[in-house]
Structure 1
Amino acid sequence: MCAATVLPRRPQRAMFSQPRRSPVAMDQDKDKDEVSMSPAGESVQGPALRQLMFGVIANLVALSPGMSLGFSAVALPQMMKFDGIDEHQASWIASLAAISTPFGCILSGPILDRLGRRVAMLAVNAPCLLGWLLLAAAPRHSGATTLIYLGRVLTGLGAGLACTPATVYLGESAQQSLRGVLVTWTSIAFSLGILAVYVLGALFQEHWRLVAGLSAAVPLLAGLCVLLLPESPVWLARQGRPAAAEASLRRLRGVAASADTPAHLRRELASLAVQAARRTVARDLGHLRRRECLAPLLIMNLFFFFQQASGVFVVIFYAVDVVQEAGVEIDKYLVTVLIGLTRLVVTIFISYASKSFGRRPCAIVSGSGMTLSMGSLATYLFCVNNKLLSDETIDKINWYPVLALIVYISMSTVGFLTLPFAMIGEVYPAQVRGLASGVTTCFGYVCSFIIVKLYPDMLEMLGRHGLFLFYSVMSLAGTFFVFLYLPETRGKSLSDIEEYFSNNGSKIKNVLRQENHVSQNQAGEMTILVNEDQFSTKLIVPDVDKYEH
């Protein structure tokens, strides 16, 4: 063993004289520390802005997959009108992207864990670029369906690859006060991509190939920008590369390589050393059977199921058709753009609101709003179909379907659409985060394929009002599930969340004592001696439980 880092002892007064603080109060204290002045007189707000910039770059990879999700909504009406695509083929064009997405999710986990977070983000762009080029090159005859199918499969594969890397990367790289905001930015990027393709579809209503060609520029730009990002320090530490982890963390926090290590950075390095001491990465599904993995896995998979069963992705894939089936009489492309814009604005709002209000309240409000909006729309359509309303009354309230759809989109974005993707970067232990995230998003998109593929059949079997009523009932069931089982992660560190699921408040110390040699002196410091084949260091950590993962 060799001595790599010795952290200064924390003052005894701070450890014994101060009363124990709640997690929220501790989080607020950290926020204050992070905007204070460093010893060199430089504001720490700079590193926060730096992390926000890296957050924007990391989530550029999700723009093209978002455009892929919304592409079928604007392209299918024109394909059916000008390219001879029938309803059966149209359902496959819409759903093929969803059926290939789970394979991308499965591939994403091993890439994340074995090759790194940055490589996983770079891997998103290749299938997206090739898929868009195939769609743009599809000829105007019956053989075009082969290229269209293949293009949709590839862009769907890219969507699967994009679901977790940016969220996991930012969850590991951002300081705790910013993590709650940054992990929701993948949903913002997806929403921005959906809006972008809706706008392009409205501008070029008869030229879906041109829309595909313009979309091909997005993954190319995103791939170049990702090269500017440092690798996740957590991943580097777990690979036994402490020097690279420190260099990455310094770059993320805006601390020069030659500068003295500030206190907040020393604390983060201590946390990295603890994680590196337990750096076993899950290689198979057997690791998911442990309580701290299995409990969040079941909860998140069910959350994704209710997300899909409530019709959230059906509205994305079939936006123009859904607007028409809802009885909207104004320009359906304009309403589609309004839906995309609403989704984007609410996603941006919820990325900050969830930090203030927490995950559970947002999810409960979301499910309740979806239930009411879909239920009221189903009631309206039932009354119209059965002539329970006079023509005069219908003319007076013909704006209601638009309002119901916009409320539904707004409410779904508040929680059910965005939070499942955000929380997979928080609830899983670090050693299975890539694998578990891949399994969860894979399951979610399998459900998405089934729901999207069955949309035409369910519409024919249940009718318009029956289909929207089904989405309302599933939204209500999802709301009850969230109320009963979804944990709150606001104000908690990643280690706090892991301990919640393991039901063992001493988890970190117990594991360290089993895997390494840990001694604790009277001042509350832990001396961690880690074997050289794991992570060559001797580290004195002031009360590990006080520091975030």
Structure 2
Amino acid sequence: MIEAARTENESRSVSLKDLMVGQVLKPTGVSMMLMLLQQVGGINAVIFYAVDIFKDANTGLDENVSAIVIAAVQVVFVLVSTLLVERLGRKILLVVSELGMAVSLLALGIYFYIKEHEPEKAATLGWLPLTSLVLYIITYNLAMGPLPWTMMGELLPPHVKSITSSIATAFCWGLGFLIAKFFKDMLAVLTSYGCYWLFSACSFAGFIYCLLVVPETKGKSLEEIQRHFSK
């Protein structure tokens, strides 16, 4: 309780100067970037418009049942993530998650491209939209869903955590709201396959970022993490 009170008092007296040092800016930047990547991978567009996506795909599968399958997979793999994260570490799961999201969204975009330009061929690929979205939901919930929140708590220094985590959280949900709100407008401008390929490109960029920049925090103390960002 004494430590908690001390941390709270420190956070209340944080100045702008305290936020502008490398040991705060760098982990805050990583945390913000993970929040950005979480949203630009298109998760809110996929979840909010799952029924519409399956309806537009015209696969012959019941779109409501398909959306229920997606929701069930989401619940299961959130639990799977909690079992794997302490065994495999954060970084490898984030890398696999982003790569899986990129591949699945690429495949979904390919289906809609074929549907628009070669509808007869698309009729033989009715399994692809559901398969792509199931893979997308699996890989998203493996890491990119839960781990940005986990790592925010691990990366941010305690004396600025209340401020920087609030900024990162507001940024995340604000961006998610904008993507969900304007997804229909994006469809009108970019077409469906263009949107999914854009989300795929963002996820592939996230794969590179997680591979090259994001540090592994599994089993590391706060001092070790801060030492990493002081380099």
Q: Please say whether Structure 1 and Structure 2 have the same fold, judged by a TM-score greater than 0.5.
A: yes
The answer for the alignment partner of 2:139 in structure 1 is 411
Tell me the distance in 2 between the aligned counterparts of 1:470 and 1:322. 16
The answer for the alignment partner of 1:280 in structure 2 is 10
The answer for the alignment partner of 2:156 in structure 1 is 428
Tell me the distance in 1 between the aligned counterparts of 2:68 and 2:223. 41
Shift of 1:283: 4.2
Q: Which amino acid aligns with 2:47?
A: I
Q: Tell me, yes or no, if the aligned pair for 1:238 and 1:280 is still in contact at 8 Å.
A: no
Tell me the distance in 2 between the aligned counterparts of 1:428 and 1:475. 24
Shift of 1:237: 2.0
Tell me the distance in 2 between the aligned counterparts of 1:325 and 1:238. 52
Aligned counterpart for 2:207 among listed residues 479, 491, 507:
479
The answer for the alignment partner of 1:298 in structure 2 is 29
Q: Which amino acid aligns with 1:318?
A: Y
Which has a greater percent of helix?
2
Tell me the distance in 2 between the aligned counterparts of 1:238 and 1:456. 45
Tell me the distance in 2 between the aligned counterparts of 1:467 and 1:348. 29
Aligned counterpart for 2:74 among listed residues 336, 339, 343:
343
The answer for the alignment partner of 1:313 in structure 2 is 44
The answer for the alignment partner of 2:99 in structure 1 is 368
The answer for the alignment partner of 1:74 in structure 2 is none
Shift of 1:427: 0.7
Unaligned runs of 5+ in 1: 1-232, 241-275, 504-549
Q: Deviation digits for residues 332-353 of structure 1, max 9, x if unmatched? A: 2221111111111111111121
The answer for the alignment partner of 1:378 in structure 2 is 109
Q: Tell me, yes or no, if the aligned pair for 2:111 and 2:122 is still in contact at 8 Å.
A: no
Shift of 1:315: 1.5
Distance change in 2, residues 1:421/1:325 (3 Å): farther
Shift of 1:284: 4.8
Q: Which amino acid aligns with 1:386?
A: H
The answer for the alignment partner of 1:446 in structure 2 is 174
Structure 2 residue 189 is matched with structure 1 residue 461: yes
The answer for the alignment partner of 2:126 in structure 1 is 398
Q: Which amino acid aligns with 1:353?
A: L
Q: Tell me, yes or no, if the aligned pair for 2:11 and 2:163 is still in contact at 8 Å.
A: no
Distance change in 2, residues 1:284/1:457 (3 Å): farther
Tell me the distance in 1 between the aligned counterparts of 2:198 and 2:135. 17
The answer for the alignment partner of 1:239 in structure 2 is 5
Structure 2 residue 230 is matched with structure 1 residue 502: yes
Q: Deviation digits for residues 176-206 of structure 1, max 9, x if unmatched? A: xxxxxxxxxxxxxxxxxxxxxxxxxxxxxxx
Shift of 1:493: 2.0
Shift of 1:411: 1.0
Shift of 1:382: 0.7
The answer for the alignment partner of 1:193 in structure 2 is none
Q: Tell me, yes or no, if the aligned pair for 1:301 and 1:440 is still in contact at 8 Å.
A: yes
Q: Deviation digits for residues 447-474 of structure 1, max 9, x if unmatched? A: 1122112101001111111111111111
Shift of 1:279: 6.0
Tell me the distance in 2 between the aligned counterparts of 1:314 and 1:453. 9
Shift of 1:285: 5.7
Distance change in 2, residues 1:482/1:421 (3 Å): same
Q: Deviation digits for residues 342-368 of structure 1, max 9, x if unmatched? A: 111111111121111111111111111
Paired residue secondary structure (1:454): helix
Q: Which amino acid aligns with 1:428?
A: L
Paired residue secondary structure (2:144): coil
Tell me the distance in 1 between the aligned counterparts of 2:181 and 2:13. 33
Q: Which amino acid aligns with 1:307?
A: Q
Tell me the distance in 1 between the aligned counterparts of 2:35 and 2:15. 19
Q: Tell me, yes or no, if the aligned pair for 1:326 and 1:464 is still in contact at 8 Å.
A: no
Q: Deviation digits for residues 286-326 of structure 1, max 9, x if unmatched? A: 13212221101111111111211110121122222233234
Q: Larger radius of gyration, structure 1 or 2?
A: 1
Give the alignment's TM-score, normalised by structure 1.
0.40
The answer for the alignment partner of 1:493 in structure 2 is 221
The answer for the alignment partner of 1:518 in structure 2 is none
Q: Which amino acid aligns with 2:129?
A: P
Which structure has more relative contact order (CA 8 Å, sep 6+)? It is 2
Tell me the distance in 1 between the aligned counterparts of 2:157 and 2:192. 43
Shift of 1:497: 1.8
Shift of 1:500: 2.3
Give the alignment's TM-score, normalised by structure 2.
0.91
Tell me the distance in 2 between the aligned counterparts of 1:312 and 1:327. 21
Q: Deviation digits for residues 1-29 of structure 1, max 9, x if unmatched? A: xxxxxxxxxxxxxxxxxxxxxxxxxxxxx
Aligned pair count?
A: 230
